[in-house]
Amino acid sequence: MENIRMKAYAKINLTLDVLGKRPDGYHELSSVMQSIGLCDTLLMSKTPRQGIEIKTDCLELPVDEGNLVYRAAQCLLSAYKVQQGVFIELQKRIPIAAGLAGGSSDCAATLLGLNKLFELNIPQKRLFEIGRQLGADVPFCLMANEAGSPTTALAEGVGEQLTPLPSHPEAWIVLAHLPIMVSTKTIFSRWINNAASSAKSTDMVNAFATGNINEVASSLSNALAPVAMALHPKIDALMMALSAQNAIGVNMTGSGPTVFAYFFTETTALRAIEYIKQQFPDCDFFNMKVELKQKEERM
């Protein structure tokens, strides 16, 4: 095999509980994560000389050690003493710094792709260990990208403890990405421990057991949303606008600024997008159906 193509799927946080700060400085989390059809594409090719070369269509991304794709490739090739180099072309569709784990998913796709490209036969457990060192969302993205189909899991610890959950019930999801920069570090630093609002993932796990989209939608939560909305009121306004368009559930993913909403039908989802575009003309919208096989298109 001389080259390989990998898809790197975005994720959304259906719940995000912050349970406290650990002695190592990280926060203890509990989150139900869902992979979705929006994805980046990575094309990887062997090169005769050692080294890593990255090309991307996203001018905002670095192509050196500042890119998780580079660091993932460097880590794997060095650890397993691969003598050849690699050229990686990254085609971005997932907005960066959006709470959608775009960088983590690209990192995970790199680990999976290079393992296959160089026939390293690295076991899944070891890939997860490497991924955990590179980012908290990487283990879930490894699970989702390897499956290649919609994946749901409860992530605990700092994201490395994964428990697969039943398939997501069918629904239409609208993603709305605001062009604002949200500092994850700032959001976490301003989070205030509130047990009453930071232990919702168990409700979501129970909702998935029912297979009922109404139960799932009513269990959406994010402990970081109040902090993000206080710093960026536009996130709150966007969530309220989606709720007013007959959404059956609305949530913010990660530390923001992307929000998403559930709709029963494609027609109501598209109608909501067209209406809200008038209020948020600078917002990027993505519309997709979550089911056993996903289809996705950018609006």
The residues carrying an active-site annotation are 11, 137
Q: Output the furthest CA–CA distance in the chain (Å, rounded).
A: 57
CA distance 140 to 138: 6
CA distance 161 to 60: 32
Take residue 95 and report the two structure tokens written for it: 């907005």
Supply the angle between the helices 124-134 and 102-117 in degrees, to the nearest 10. Answer: 140
Take residue 123 and report the two structure tokens written for it: 């076991």
Of 103, 100, 101, the residue nearest 60 (C-alpha): 103
CA distance 250 to 56: 32
CA distance 255 to 228: 7
Q: Is residue 207 within 8 Å of 237, Cβ to Cβ?
A: no
